[in-house]
Every structure is written in structure tokens, then in C-alpha cells.
Amino acid sequence: MIPTSLRWHGNAAGQPDAGHLELVDQTLLPTRHEWIPCRDVDTLVEAIKMLRVRGAPAIGIAGAYGLAVAAGEAVGDGLSPEAARAHLLARAELLACARPTAVNLRWAVERVVSVLAGLPENTSAQALAAAALAEARSIHEEDRRLCAAIGRHGAAILPEGGVLTHCNTGALATGGDGTALAVITTAWEEGRRFDVFADETRPLFQGARLTAWELVERGIPVTVLVDSAAAQLLRTGRVGACIVGADRITANGDTANKIGTYGLAVLAEAHGVPFFVAAPSSTFDLSLETGVDIPIEERAAAEVLRPLGVPAAPEHARAYNPAFDVTPARLITGIVTEHGVIQPVTRDNVLKMVPVLKMVPGTKSRSAR
């Protein structure tokens, strides 16, 4: 099966036989592969919060389609043009706030909102729905192309030796073939052969459940390790490079990614192993100078105390469960983008490589939490 994260089912939002968004429920993988329909925004927001859809680019694309879903709600309720716009803005804010760390979510939602804002005031709910869907589709299509470009640029600089990755950055996490994982799969498709290691990525096991599943589906051998085995693996010399994705990268190159990434970068430096980040320009937040200002999502204690639903700690223990950490730019060898590789990772090089396309003025990227 070719892994994928989401699709629009049907042709038009807001029509009597309205289309809707469908997501692969990633909480069920790798044992079950099921699509869930999102016919209303509440279902989609729940899916984003519960990580049924996850990964920075994928939640951005889902959020963009969410505006088409919201416009479908407005059509269904027979809202006037003015009421439909108010409805869309309220739903946009709900979607953009569903998770705070990955900047792609707010970026994509704001992009659709700004397209709608450019339409005449008396535009009907049906026409708003069509415009929202068209913009969401182009964000989705663009992400496919960006993933392919990231895969090519990254494969060209991937050193010899095994590759260690963290979390899931593949087709499930994006609208295309992935970011860091696309680098690995592209190099493999180009005929290179190397060991691929995937950190299991506690507490939600995105590495073991999702990355390993994607690689197995693609016929690429993968070795899963517990996160705490990374130091020992690096010490053996079997890893030529670490490569991970990103949820938000600031102007100086500091990078928020799945919890455990920072520790891995420290280990890579200690063992002289290059540490790469791969991300599209929609993951850069140039409104933030450094990673200190990135909002870090904290999630439910149950994810730590009852991993995969199995009790693993005394009932009354507390848990510390940040979903992300920030890796300082100085620990990152290079950042692979769709435009090429930022190396060394300096503010000047980031600003040279990444176009200032980013947030619509007045958005809340700084204070999402």
C-alpha cells in the first residue's frame, strides 16, 4: 500500500452532495488502516487534537481543507454571505488553535482565509466553499512537490552509512512522500543501500507504529530501537547521519520537533555524527527570532502513564509530557528545504534561502498558547 494521510472525497464543498475530508486514522496504525470522514469542523478539530492526523505539513493541509468543510456547514445552514464569513472566521480560529507548535497549521488556515478575504463581500456561501476547496487543493498539491524536492536535495547530501530518524516524517505526516523520510526513501530509490534506524518515539510511538509501517510498506528494511538506545547505537559507528523533521523553525535556525529530537542532536554532536533537519518553507516562522518563543504543546499525562492504553506507572503518579523540544541551531549540520540545503545553519543563510512568504499580518503565531 502506498502510504497517504488525507484526501478530499467528492468534487465540491457546499453542494447538495457535498464532498468531505477523509483522514487515515493514524492512532490505529499499524494494526488497522481506516479512513475517517470529516463532514464537520468539530470532527476535524478532534482528529487534529487526538493525532488521528498529525505531522506538521499534514495538519496544515487538513486545516486548509477544514475551511472547505466549514463553508459546507455554512451552505448546509443556509447562511447569508455575511453570516457565512463570520462562521468561517470562527471556524478558522478553532482549527488554527487545535495544536500550538507546528506553525504549518496556522499558516495554511490563514492562507485560505486570506484568499476568502479577497473575494467580494456578497460572495455566496457556495462560492466561498468552492474557493476554500480550490486553495486547500493547491496547498496539498504544492506540498507534494515540496516533499519531492526535499527528497532530492536531501538524498544528494546524505553521507554514507546508516541513517537514524525520529518520529514520523513520511507520507502520513505530509501531503506527499514526506520530509526527512522522503530523503531516506529517495536515496533508497536512487539505488543506495544503507541501514535505516527508527527511534520508537515515546510516548506515542510515531517511529515504531508509523515510520516503520511506511518503510515496510515501501519494502525498505527498518530497525526500530527504543529512544534510549540511540546513544549506544551512535557509539557503535553504524550511523552516518541523523535526519529528522520539524514543526517550527525560527529565523536563527532553532528547530522545534518531536520530543527527544534535542537529546538526539546532543548525542549526534557527542559522537561526531551529522544531524540534519528536513522541512518545507511553510515550517519556518520568521516572525520568531529564536526557539525560546516557540510554544511547546504539553499533552495528557495518560500518554506517559498508560502508553498505548497499558498501565505502566502507579495510578497516582504525575507525568511530564511535552510533545516537542527545541534543538538549537548550533547542533544542526544542515536544514534541507525545497530550495536546497541551509548549511551552515545561520540566520543569514536561513533568510537567504527561505522566502518571507509566511504569516498574514496580525496572526497569532507568537502567542498560540
Residue 202 in the binding site for ligand MRU (CB under 6 A):
no
**Which residue out of 247, 254, 285, 325 is catalytically annotated?**
247
| Contact positions with ligand MRU (CB under 6 A) in 57-76 | 57
Peptide bond into 30 cis (omega under 30): yes
Q: Residue 174: helix, strand or coil by DSSP?
A: coil
Closest to ligand MRU by CB, 115 vs 165, is 165
Q: If you search the block for the grid coordinates 554514507, which residue do you land on?
A: 160
Residue nearest to ligand MRU (CB): 245
Interface residue with ligand MRU, options 108, 125, 167, 233 (CB under 6 A): 167
Q: Least distance in Å: CB of 299 to ligand MRU?
A: 8
> Among residue numbers 33 through 52, which ones bind ligand MRU (CB under 6 A)?
51
Closest CB 223 distance from ligand MRU, rounded Å: 19
**With b meaning 16 or more CB within 10 Å and e meaning fewer, what string describes 300-328?**
eeebbbbeeeeeeeeeeeeeebebbbbbb
Based on the residue annotation, tell me whether 247 is a catalytic residue of this protein: yes
In the complex with ligand MRU, which residue's Cβ is closer, 154 or 245? 245
Residues 6 or more apart in contact with residue 60 via CB below 8 angstroms: 102, 104, 105, 107, 108, 109, 139, 143, 282
Closer of 62 and 92 to ligand MRU (Cβ): 62
**Backbone dihedral region for residue 59 (phi beyond 0: left; psi -120 to 50: alpha; all else: beta):** alpha
Nearest-angstrom CA–CA distance, 129 and 152: 35
- Residue 103 Cα distances to 40, 98, 181, 284, angstroms: 23, 11, 20, 7
Q: Which of 5, 179, 250, 337 is close enough to bind ligand MRU by CB under 6 A?
A: 179
> Catalytic residue positions?
247
Residues that bind ligand MRU (CB under 6 A): 51, 54-57, 102, 167, 169, 173-174, 178-179, 206, 245-247, 257-258, 323
